[in-house]
Structure 1
Amino acid sequence: MSLAPKASEAAGGRDAGRGGGTGGSRGQNGGRRRRGRRVLRWSATGLSVVILGTAGAGYLYYQHLNGNIHKGQRSSGDSKARKTAPNAAGQTPMNILLIGSDSRNSAENVKLGGSKDNVGNPPLGDVQMLIHLSADRKSASMVSIPRDTRVDIPKCTDPKTGKVFPATNSIINESLARGGAGCTLATWENLTGVYIDHWMTIDFAGVVKMADAIGGVEVCVNQSVWDHPTPQVPGGSGLKLTAGSHKVQGKQALQWLRTRHAWGSDLMRARAQHMYLNSMIRTLKGQNVFTDTPRLMDLAEAATDSLTVSEEIGTVKKLYDLAMQLKSVPTNRITSVTMPNVPDPQNDDHVVPDTVNADKMWQMLRDDVAFDKNGDAKESGKKSGGSAPATKSPSVPADQLGVLVRNATGTSTEAAVSGRARTIATQLGAKGYTRAAADTSGTAESVEKTVVEYPSADLLGDAQAVAKSLGIPVGQVKQTTDVSGVTLVVGADWREGTAYPKQSAPKAGDLPDNSDAINGSDTKQCMDVYAPYRWQ
């Protein structure tokens, strides 16, 4: 503040020297000018020190925030998912897996999460949500899979200990304990066929910090709720609210997100979490955090200290850029859903994917079709996956090409169709591919969608010709080093018949009825409370 007056006084000295008539001597004027120059030099030097000091402090703070961030390996399991091809503008969608950990491996988490019996145990991923940002960054989707969904978890290796966990079939929240977040990511990719770019995890204490930094998030209940232990059901989050809308933060926000019994089921807990996140997004969009330095610093501290992220986004700048892309999506173009599911025939307490409806949703994500209908009419049903590879001519005649056919028709609820590879190999023989043969290795495999794979560019035309002979879309011809020759993988979408079934492309907003979709701009959402947990 003192720099400006000094410069002004120096300027005034020079003006007085020039305006003093014959009363002032040349030496006096020269002295004033020299003093003025000295003052200006010191002022400039002082200003430079201030600027450099501020920049240094900013740099140190930036480094401090970077140091807050915990990072981990993107994938630690076997996965074959591939990135969606760029659209005509060269843009690609982005998929981020958000995992809520139930870790009790800190005093703070034990205090917030209850049971001390789990201290030291690997954490489970009780909240799992995929955030899909469209290639054009005009829409976004949030997809939850209930924690008690039985799925195939692939072979995973813990990146910290090197311990190898064999593939298994179990509930999805166990994947976090079998190789960390990278194993959960691989599990999602194998289930959905969607390539996931990044993951983020947050624990109980992190949720509290973030909720406090935001300043509270508005939620609503139709009846007064108290999620407390009952004679029939022990435990409970402790959430206690009167009917109506409330702003929750800190521990109460965590209670809202953890409540299950009072909503009636784990599926309804996913709905409550979606309501919270939609409300949080609306809250952040309505706050001028970038002109409010203390609030921005609070959010930056909370976010970097609360999150563990995959290593490729492990800097403040990358997280900031990611946040800006998400912030640009209008709330009426954000849709939250729960994976369509049905009761698990092996365990009444679990669920499994509703294969037909879940597959439809996964295809919409893979093809980057918006979950809402609020985009431009010309965008409805448009794929952002870019054009298929140009058609090439086969390198050899059909009867000289060896084609291996694999049976991957199994689903989470149905076993693979016996003899399916042999049936399709026979059909290929009738089409002229007399060297086609069924894979007899006995390796169990399950994929959502049929694909023709090839190992090198010189076999692209041959793989395309195989696909065409059976009516398989050319977009389902993929190059991969996982095969040594042209390989037809018959998926769960082709469990019967010898001609590949024609499938209509999904349209924007055409979600399955049992996806429990909520639009991000809907401010009237309110949770119903299961009768035993109502009070007043």
Structure 2
Amino acid sequence: MASAPLAEDTTPLAAKGTTETAEPAADRRGGDGGGRGRRQGGGRSGSRGWRRVLRWTAVVVAVAVLGAAGAGYLYYRHLNGNIKQDDLNLGDSKVAEPTPNAAGQTPLNILLIGSDARDTEANQKLGGARETFGSTPLADVQMLLHLSADRSNMSVVSMPRDTLLQIPKCTDPDDGQVYPASDGRAMTNESLGHGGPGCTVATWQELTGIHIDHFIMVDFAGVVSMADAVGGVPVCVDANIHSRDSQGHGSGLKLEKGTHPVKGEQALQWLRTRYGFEDGSDLARAKAQHMYMSSMVRVLRENATLSSPNKLRRLAEEATRSLTVDPGLDTVKKLYDLSNELRKVEPERITMTTMPNRYVGSRVEPTEDAEQLFRLVRDDIALDGKDAKKKTDGEKLSDDPAAPDAEIAVQVRNGTRTDVLGPASGRATTVTGQLNELGFSSAVADGSTVLSEETTVVRYPSADLEGDAQAVAQSLGIPLSAVKRSTEVSGVTLVVGADWREDTAYEAPERDDKTPDTADILNGADDEACMHVNPAFTW
């Protein structure tokens, strides 16, 4: 979003709080715990005025990004005290931060979570389903917001709540309770009940290999209060719709054909609607959420509905009270700094997608196209296809000079195992021999473990070894874009990937950097999108 108040860049937040009408009790799976948030206070004096702090909050509404600097010591402390905090990652395994680009910039990944918690009177009234009152909350909306390293574009990836995957072992830092890894595959929305939002973050990282920097979580009441404070957001349906069937299932959304502004509880109904949109699946609901998010961004950019100090103050109150965040975002100042980053992206460079998937019974699982989408995000390649230059960003030689080849200690590992093929025998030994012949006499093969690595990669732990790692890559014809900094290794480490299962000469594979069509792409500037109404739910 551009140079106007940060409200413009906020879309994803409103949508993250979305969830659907309660499913039957048998369809709500989860363990004990979850849904806790610790109050976090703090404050700093400021002197830039009310208007800016309140304008700041407009951002949170659209993407959990607030846009203002200080506004007086007491009020600043008050807003900080509204914000709830929880740990970022409750899993054991960590994903290394991405390697900075030539300008020293790194991408920013934020997981937006919508909780279906029915833990307060307001949430119970909005969520219904009395049999679920006080039960373990579910992460029924999960969206990854990826801001590119150069801040030129933004990608949003939604994961359906009933995606089957492995939930990793998570430990609740509050009481030390350990939630073992799921026995087989479980629905991704159950991760929230395994200690809190930090387990949902861990689950995403395990599946995607994407390093997540922050999370922002909101519940039913938060979505309604913020949507009401912001004002109407235009949405479109191609026929009259009433989301309610004969058994009482549905969000209750009732709209006439055409474009209408929705706010407050009606906005929540739109974001939760599954019965009535297209095939009645979570996939259709994700599409509706993307339309709402895009529209929210455009509304906040195009009009001055938040010019009133009273409206802005109300929005600031509602937004900060509705959020649970990680420690990296637990103050107004931190959220403001984040908003300054997000505001740099224009709607035309925002791409919204849904994780490619296929049905497994009534659930879904990721497909091969999903891994393609995750790779594009990991490699910081714009999903709108307008960043071809990014493919050569990684070819910059390090300023750190390489040591003599014979003095560079290299550990070589076999990473050729895939989902369908076993590891290629002896690859670490073969490639080590090739390095020795090239003069890297300190290279050794590590046969202790066999890994699964899609493409060959050279990893190094610290800046003083980057030049050494690049020298190893160049000697074998491996592109410098495959040289990655990682805290998971203690020295220069070459992992022979599934793209190099034979021969001693490496040939870099041609990569398709196009966003899969199965990702259901929506551009943030598309103001003509309209949801298709299932004929069984029209009137």
Q: Which TM-score applies when normalising by structure 2?
A: 0.76
Offset, 1:124? 1.4
User: CA 1:453–1:179 in structure 2 vs 1: closer, same or farther (change >3 Å)?
Assistant: farther
Aligned counterpart for 2:191 among listed residues 167, 175, 185:
175
Secondary structure (helix, strand or coil) at the match of 1:117 reads: helix
Q: Where do 1:40-439 residues align within 5 Å?
A: 58-168=72-182, 169-230=185-246, 235-263=249-277, 264=279, 265-288=281-304, 291-343=307-359, 347-355=360-368, 357-373=369-385, 380-381=389-390, 387=396, 389=398, 392-393=402-403, 396=406, 403=411, 405-407=413-415, 409-410=417-418, 414=419, 417-420=421-424, 422-428=425-431, 430-431=433-434, 437=445, 439=447
Cα displacement string for residues 373-404 of structure 1 (whole angstroms, at most 9, x for unaligned residues): 567xxx65456568364572466479xx7745
Specify the alignment match of 2:62 in structure 1: none
Give the whole-Å Cα distance in 2 for the aligned partners of 1:303 and 1:102. 17
Offset, 1:500? 5.2
Give the whole-Å Cα distance in 1 for the aligned partners of 2:100 and 2:413. 29
User: CA 1:87–1:486 in structure 2 vs 1: closer, same or farther (change >3 Å)?
Assistant: closer
- Contact 1:86 1:384 (8 Å CA) reproduced: no
Please give the root-mean-square deviation of Cα atoms over the aligned residues, in Å. Answer: 3.4
Aligned counterpart for 1:514 among listed residues 488, 513, 518:
518
- Contact 1:428 1:436 (8 Å CA) reproduced: no
Secondary structure (helix, strand or coil) at the match of 1:262 reads: coil
Decide which structure has the larger Cα Rg and report it.
Answer: 1
User: CA 1:429–1:60 in structure 2 vs 1: closer, same or farther (change >3 Å)?
Assistant: closer
Offset, 1:480? 4.4
1:428 partner amino acid? V
Cα displacement string for residues 94-141 of structure 1 (whole angstroms, at most 9, x for unaligned residues): 221101111112221111112233333331111111112222323211
> Larger deviation: 524-533 or 55-64?
55-64
List alignment gaps of at least 5 residues for structure 1. Answer: 1-50
Cα displacement string for residues 332-372 of structure 1 (whole angstroms, at most 9, x for unaligned residues): 111111122233xxx322222222x3333223223322222
Secondary structure (helix, strand or coil) at the match of 2:361 reads: strand
- Contact 2:91 2:169 (8 Å CA) reproduced: yes
> Larger deviation: 167-176 or 307-316?
167-176
Return the structure number with greater relative CO, CA threshold 8 A, min gap 6.
2
Offset, 1:53? 13
Give the whole-Å Cα distance in 2 for the aligned partners of 1:262 and 1:447. 42
Does 2:494 align with 1:494? Answer: no
Count of paired positions: 464
Secondary structure (helix, strand or coil) at the match of 1:317 reads: helix
Q: Which has the higher helix share?
A: 1
Offset, 1:308? 0.8
Cα displacement string for residues 427-458 of structure 1 (whole angstroms, at most 9, x for unaligned residues): 3255266985564568xx65555434456778
Give the whole-Å Cα distance in 1 for the aligned partners of 2:232 and 2:393. 36
Secondary structure (helix, strand or coil) at the match of 2:130 reads: coil
- Contact 2:416 2:500 (8 Å CA) reproduced: no
User: CA 1:258–1:131 in structure 2 vs 1: closer, same or farther (change >3 Å)?
Assistant: same
Specify the alignment match of 1:32 in structure 2: none
Q: Which TM-score applies when normalising by structure 1?
A: 0.77
Give the whole-Å Cα distance in 1 for the aligned partners of 2:187 and 2:478. 33
User: CA 1:112–1:463 in structure 2 vs 1: closer, same or farther (change >3 Å)?
Assistant: same
Give the whole-Å Cα distance in 2 for the aligned partners of 1:146 and 1:480. 30
Give the whole-Å Cα distance in 2 for the aligned partners of 1:185 and 1:349. 24
Offset, 1:293? 1.1
Offset, 1:405? 2.5
Secondary structure (helix, strand or coil) at the match of 1:261 reads: coil
Give the whole-Å Cα distance in 2 for the aligned partners of 1:166 and 1:215. 43
Cα displacement string for residues 480-502 of structure 1 (whole angstroms, at most 9, x for unaligned residues): 454456554455x5385456552
Offset, 1:93? 2.2
List alignment gaps of at least 5 residues for structure 2. Answer: 1-47, 54-69
Secondary structure (helix, strand or coil) at the match of 2:104 reads: coil
1:425 partner amino acid? A
- Contact 2:414 2:423 (8 Å CA) reproduced: no
Give the whole-Å Cα distance in 2 for the aligned partners of 1:523 and 1:530. 21
Specify the alignment match of 2:42 in structure 1: none
Give the whole-Å Cα distance in 2 for the aligned partners of 1:460 and 1:173. 39
Q: Identity across aligned pairs (percent)?
A: 48
Give the whole-Å Cα distance in 1 for the aligned partners of 2:49 and 2:173. 41
Give the whole-Å Cα distance in 1 for the aligned partners of 2:195 and 2:453. 22
Give the whole-Å Cα distance in 2 for the aligned partners of 1:321 and 1:484. 33
